[in-house]
Amino acid sequence: MPRTTSLARRTAVALLAAASFATVAGIAPASAATVSESPRNGLAAVDGQRSSAALERNKRIAVEVLTQLFEKGNVKVADKYVRADFLQHSPTVPDGREALENLAADLHTRYPGFTYNVKRVLAQGDLVLVHSNPIEEPGTRGDDVMDIFRFDEKGRIAEHWDTRESVPATTVNGNDMFGTVSNPNTNQPSGPCSLTPLSQKLVLDYFNTLLVQKNPDAIGYLNPAYYQHNPSVPSGTVGMREGFVEFFKQFPNVTTDLKRTIADKDYVAVHFRYRLHPEDSGQAIMGIFRVQRQEDGQLKIIEHWDVIENVPATSANNNTMF
């Protein structure tokens, strides 16, 4: 939803994006590496019982709410699809449907040309992730935003998390922050539904191998091409293992709390908190990985997008960003 992050703060992406450690210079050592599950909003379970029709409905509602609210200023869409006791984790917005409607009305008045520009949508269980490029004023680059919505059993939006950062003028890898480079060349999840649990396991194995075990052999989960959309990290895996070895020697302690995942066919999103040390408020990070089956039949991670935001000292609600 409609708020960014310094280049130095992109250290976490040097780990997850797994490409370059040039951005970590000057960062102080941190505390012990852990990956934990939130007791209330834990990792999304593999969606075996929920129908694909319900998932597609939730995707449609999430996109409709974002576009109607912020492009049209249509607050009636919130009355229809958002619970009155809506829980908000965006640090600049209070809880409740009314606060969301007030935000949308204000933004529409100030920026009548606002466009949300939805790029990809993932759904699993009761969660939907929307990756977008909201632009307040035509001709500007806008922001890179990932929104996560939790739906209740009646198909109404009950809770929301997001991360946001400004889109830079250039990227070191030549890829923009939104497109898809790998095949098939579509921004939406593709492949059979049976791919979902396999993709989810692969990405979580990669995450845990890299951040919990501090094992540089985590690059084995990646296709050597590994297309990168983090604007400050190159594509590819050349020199990556050596980079990991040096990084973990220099910074042996990192705290990483994995909060939720959303897997949808060949796409897997992770939402986590990264801290440099126990007193650090840290960063809220949402990342999307794309999985591709290789010629030998193995699944590898082929592409990556992310959005990183510093956790602020204060918030308009009491829910934290997680």
Query: Which residue do the tokens 């976490």 mark?
Result: 12
SS3 79: helix
Could you please state the CATH topology (level 3) that the domain comprising 52-166 is classified under: Nuclear Transport Factor 2; Chain: A, (3.10.450)
Phi-psi region of 226 (alpha: psi -120 to 50; beta: other; left: phi over 0): left
Q: What is the pTM of this model?
A: 0.87
CATH number of 7-45+173-310: 3.10.450.50
SS3 7: helix
Q: Whose CA is closest to 313, among 274, 272, 279?
A: 279
Q: What is the pLDDT of residue 11?
A: 42
Cα-flanking dihedrals φ and ψ of residue 276, to 5°?
A: -80, -30
- Residue 261 pairs with which residues in a beta bridge? 270
Helix (H) or strand (E) holding 102: helix 97-110
Q: How far apart are CA 179 and CA 207, in angstroms?
A: 23
SS3 67: helix
Sign of CA pseudo-dihedral 95, 97, 103, 104: positive
DSSP 147: E
Q: How far apart are CA 250 and CA 153, in angstroms?
A: 47
The ranges assigned to domains in the chain are: 7-45+173-310, 52-166
Is 7-45+173-310's fold the same as 52-166's?
Answer: yes
Print pLDDT tens along the chain (322 aa): 775 344 434 444 445 544 333 333 223 222 233 333 333 444 444 444 458 999 999 999 999 999 999 999 999 999 999 999 999 999 999 999 999 999 999 999 999 999 999 999 999 999 999 999 999 999 999 999 999 999 999 999 999 999 999 999 999 999 999 999 999 999 999 999 999 999 999 999 999 998 878 899 999 999 999 999 999 999 999 988 898 888 788 878 777 899 999 999 999 999 999 887 788 899 999 999 999 999 999 999 999 999 999 999 999 999 999 9
Phi-psi region of 239 (alpha: psi -120 to 50; beta: other; left: phi over 0): left
Q: How far apart are CA 9 and CA 207, in angstroms?
A: 19
Q: How far apart are CA 318 and CA 316, in angstroms?
A: 7
